[in-house]
Amino acid sequence: MSWDEKGGKIWMDGEFVDWNDANIHVLSHVVHYGSSVFEGLRCYKNPNGSAIFRLNEHVERLFESAKIYKMPIPFTKTDISNAIKEVVAVNKLKSCYIRPLAYRGYKELGVSPLNCPVNTTIAVWEWGTYLGDEAMENGVDIGVSSWRRLAPDTMPSLAKAGANYMNAQLAKLEAIENGFDEAIMLDYHGFVGEGSGENIFLVKDDVIYTPSLSSSILKGITRDSVIKIAEDLGYEVSQEKIPREMLYLADEVFFSGSAAEVTPIRSIDRIEIGTAKRGPITEKIQSEFFSIVDGKTEDKFDWLSYIEY
């Protein structure tokens, strides 16, 4: 199940459909108005089996995103959790990325989505490191985008909606054009927000900082995992408004995300961060994160849901 093979099955509204037949009509509401909400999860293979990381939290957030957009998903949370596990098992994948998505489908066009059905789909594929294998050790180079995050009274950042990623695309395209691996966007007020697909953390004098939810960010589940791991390791973690220049002065900066996992950042706007390589606290958190998902340490936070094949 990869984009090259185009094999395997995709779950669509309760049925398993061949990858190549998982199509929708071009006049579906979502195609015209971006009316979708989605999730991204990872399943990790470890010596005890294969386990999905924080399944319940992702399903919960999918339903929260749908609630904000008044999109009634015609399945229960348990149905979706079971379907997520099933689609991994049916595709016989041990380690993969999982993409559940709910969207307004095909019935009529016009801005109001109310007459359009809500369809739900879950796809899986093998996805390696998000920003490159080498990045996990050496860090990435990022730049502050000229595009800001969504203003709080424009589109809700706490909803993981497909349309939010038009904003993310602008930032990502600009980053690529400028030769950066990734962008970091400021919020409407000029404080640090998040990357195109990641939350951000910085370390200064052994204290860990991350933007608060009022900076138009997604409430990242990896962000929450990093906070819990860091606190468990004895670090103080502060969620607050972060001025842009605090990024440059940090000892360490890193991204978190389901796709990005824990990725160190070595430069911002071509300014070296700390020693311009993965810092010691980033390394500790990253290694604890991978020890949990790889089953090397006890799953003390109860984050892993094992798949039955």
Output 116 or 225, the one with its CB closest to ligand PPE: 225
CA distance 255 to 222: 9
**Nearest residue (beta carbon) to ligand PPE:** 40
State the minimum distance, in angstroms, from the CB of residue 38 to ligand PPE. Answer: 8
How far apart, in whole angstroms, are the C-alpha atoms of residue 305 and residue 309?
Answer: 13
Nearest CB to ligand PPE, comparing residues 54 and 116: 54
For residue 160, indicate whether it is catalytic.
yes
Least Cα distance to 192 among 230, 238, 247, 141 occurs for: 247
C-beta of 36: minimal distance to ligand PPE in Å? 12
Q: Closest approach of Cβ 223 to ligand PPE, in Å?
A: 6
Q: Smaller CB distance to ligand PPE: residue 199 or 286?
A: 199
Name 97's bridge partners. 42, 125
- Give residue 273's identity as a one-letter amino acid code: I
In the complex, the smallest distance separating the C-beta of residue 256 from ligand PPE, rounded to whole angstroms, is 6
Contacts of residue 162, defined as CB under 8 A and 6 or more positions apart, other chains included, come to 30, 34, 35, 36, 37, 38, 101, 103
Tokens of 241: 């408004």
Return all residues near 21 (Cβ < 8 A) that are at least 6 apart. Answer: none
Give 120 or 256: the residue with its C-beta nearer to ligand PPE.
256
Shorter beta-carbon distance to ligand PPE: residue 113 or 257: 257
The rounded distance, in Å, linking the Cα atoms of 90 and 88 is 6
Set 160, 172, 204, 296: catalytic member: 160
Minimum CB–partner distance for residue 144 and ligand PPE (Å): 15
Identify which of residues 11 and 97 has a Cβ nearer to ligand PPE in the complex.
97
Record the tokens describing residue 244, joined without a space.
């842009």
CB 180 within 8 A of CB 220: no
Least gap, CB of 42 to ligand PPE (angstroms): 8
Q: Which is nearer to ligand PPE, 11 or 38 (CB)?
A: 38
For residue 222, give the 3-state DSSP assignment. helix
| Residue position matching structure tokens 């960010």 | 217
Contacts with ligand PPE, residue ranges (CB under 6 A): 40, 168, 194, 197-199, 218, 220-223, 256-260
> To the nearest whole angstrom, how small is the minimum distance from the Cβ of residue 222 to ligand PPE?
3
Q: Which of 100, 20, 30 is nearest to 69 (CA)?
A: 30
Side-chain half-sphere exposure of 151, counting CA atoms within 13 A: 4
DSSP 33-62: H--EEE--EEEEEETTEEEEETHHHHHHHH
Asked whether the beta carbons of 277 and 286 are under 8 A apart, the reply is no
Question: Active-site positions?
Answer: 160
